[in-house]
Amino acid sequence: MKRYIGIRIVYLLLTLFIITTATFFLMKALPGTPFDEEKLQQLPQEQRQMIYASYGLDKPVGVQYVNYLKNIVKGDLGTSFFYTGQPVKDIIMSRIGPSALIGLQAVLLGLAIGMILGIIAAYRHNSGWDYATMIIAVLGVSVPNFVLAALLQYFVGLKWGLLPVAFWESYPSSILPSIALCVGVIALIARFVRTEMLEVLEQDYVTTAKAKGLGFARIMFQHVIRNSLISVITILGPIVVNLLTGSLVIENIFGIPGIGSLFVDSIKMNDYSTIMGITIFYSAFYVFVMLIVDLLYGLVDPRIRLASGKE
């Protein structure tokens, strides 16, 4: 087990390394500069040099790279070009709140609803419930979340005036965005749980459980559902990706001051250091979640946890 963890961590670091390197060189390859070129050219040579130097842009690329890596290890993600002078790290930290709240709500809501739908659909295979769930699942992955967000905004927000549609004023501001974000999660989970459960219901040990005379509830909870849910852990990875990308759009539409909208703005403003910073942040987060998922799965499935061999 320890070896397993060790290997996963090595991969994590390797992946992060590759991402940061790729990000760095891609940023360097970008056409244009983050500065306002007109004004810059009006300055005398020395001052231009000074400005470059203050951002570390005067040194050769190789050196910049090494400095960059050193800084990252220290936790310093550079300073923003757009929000002049502000450390990227601080900017990110100040905007984590809204993103985290919406993300968490979306995950919990999505998990809960998705699992319930999936379980019922599998149990009532080929019934009305089943088809309804499958339809929701398909729509959930096919309707792009910006379309859904637009619809929610339009109907629930504007026409019916039930919930706030934009900006971050109070808790209710997070409701519509969370709903828009959780639909994708529901779709993924419902379909997955349904498939897993259908397979489990076919297994011999479920027949054995029935042959023991156990009641319906016990069979469902102890035998069927437990085994079906274990594998839900494996799709947490794609779900996280879903949320990350979704947040870019959702925060944009609903005007939420989160990391997603920061990312989109930085792209529009060519704020390289912020873009890099957020890329690293997202990647680290994703990789970290994958690590937790792997660990969790190893813990929860006794076949992996106790692969100590037979006697």
Partner 1 sequence: MTQMDNVDALFKPAAAKPDEREKISGKSLTAFQDSWRRLRQNKAAIVSLVILVIMLLLAIVGPWIGHHDYYSTDYNAVYQKPNADHWFGTDKFGRDQWARVWQGTRVSLLIAVLAAALDLVIGVAYGAISALFGGRVDNVMQRIVEILTGIPSLIIIILLMMVMKPGIVTIMVAMSITGWVNMARLVRAHIMKLKSQEFVLAARTLGTSTGRIITKHLIPNTIGIIVINTMFTIPSAIFTEAFLSFIGLGLQSPMSSLGVLINDGFASLNTQAYLLLYPSIVIVLIMVTFNILGDGLRDALDPRMRK
Partner 2 sequence: MDNLLEVQDVQVSFFTYAGEVQAVRGVGFSLGRGETLAIVGESGSGKSVTSKSIMRLLAKSAKIKHGSIRFEGKDIASLPEKQMQDIRGRDISMIFQDPMTSLNPTMTIGKQITEVLKKHRKLGGAEANRRAVELLDQVGIPNPDKRLKQYPHQLSGGMRQRVVIAIALACNPKVLIADEPTTALDVTIQAQILELMKKLQQELDTSIVLITHDLGVVANMASRVAVMYAGKIVETGTVDEIFYEGKHPYTWGLLASMPKLHEKSEELTAIPGTPPDLSDPPKGCPFAARCPYAMEICHEYMPEYTEHSETHRAACWLQDSRAPKVQSPLAGGDRP
Which residues lie near partner 2 (CB under 8 A)? Answer: 203-205, 207-215, 218, 222-223, 226-227, 230, 301-303, 306, 308-311
Q: Which of 53, 66, 100, 147 binds partner 1 (CB under 8 A)?
A: 147
Q: Which of 52, 55, 123, 286 binds partner 1 (CB under 8 A)?
A: 286
Indicate the residue among 71 and 127 with the shorter CB distance to partner 2: 127
List the single partner that 7 binds among partner 1, partner 2, none, CB under 5 to 8 Å by kind: none
What's the closest the beta carbon of residue 220 comes to partner 2, in angstroms?
13
Q: How far is CA 69 from CA 21, 53, 217, 234, in A?
A: 8, 18, 55, 32
Considering only 42-50, 62-70, 221-229, 282-290, which stretch makes contact with partner 1 by CB under 8 A?
282-290
- 245 binds partner 1 per the rule CB under 8 A: yes
> 159: Cβ–Cβ under 8 A, 6 or more apart, which residues?
none
The 10 Å CB-count burial string (b at 16+, else e) for 11-25 is ebeeebeebbeebbe
Question: Residue 41: helix, strand or coil by DSSP?
Answer: helix
x/- mask, partner 1, residues 34-63, rule CB under 8 A, reads ------------------------------
List the single partner that 207 binds among partner 1, partner 2, none, CB under 5 to 8 Å by kind: partner 2
* Residue given tokens 């102890």 in the structure block: 222
- 287 binds partner 1 per the rule CB under 8 A: yes
Token digits of residue 87: 């450390």
Question: Residue 275: helix, strand or coil by DSSP?
Answer: helix
What single string gives the DSSP state of each residue in 190-247?
A: HHHHHHHHHHHHTSHHHHHHHHTT--HHHIIIIIIIHHHHHGGGGGHHHHHHHHHHHH
Cα separation, 119 vs 232, in Å, equals 12
Cα separation, 295 vs 305, in Å, equals 10
Task: Name the DSSP letter for residue 89.
Answer: H
> How many residues are recorded in the chain?
311
Task: Specify which residues 68 forms β-bridges with.
Answer: none
Task: Kindly give the interhelix angle for 175-201 and 236-254, rounded to the nearest 10 degrees.
Answer: 160
Q: Which of 144, 167, 302, 307 binds partner 1 (CB under 8 A)?
A: 144
- 141 binds partner 1 per the rule CB under 8 A: yes
Q: Which of 150, 295, 296, 300 binds partner 1 (CB under 8 A)?
A: 150
Q: Using an 8 Å Cβ cutoff, are 183 and 148 in contact?
A: yes
Considering only 67-75, 214-222, 274-282, 298-306, which stretch makes contact with partner 1 by CB under 8 A?
274-282
Ramachandran region, residue 43 (left: φ > 0; alpha: ψ -120 to 50; beta: rest):
beta
What's the closest the beta carbon of residue 184 comes to partner 1, in angstroms?
11
Task: Name the DSSP letter for residue 36.
Answer: -
**Phi and psi dihedrals of 24, rounded to 5?**
-55, -50
List the single partner that 73 binds among partner 1, partner 2, none, CB under 5 to 8 Å by kind: none
- 11 binds partner 1 per the rule CB under 8 A: yes
- 300 binds partner 1 per the rule CB under 8 A: no
List the single partner that 311 binds among partner 1, partner 2, none, CB under 5 to 8 Å by kind: partner 2
Site residues for partner 1 per CB under 8 A: 11-12, 14-15, 18-19, 22-23, 26-27, 29-31, 138-139, 141-144, 146-147, 150, 153-154, 158, 241, 244-245, 248-249, 252-253, 264, 267-268, 275, 279, 282-283, 286-287, 290
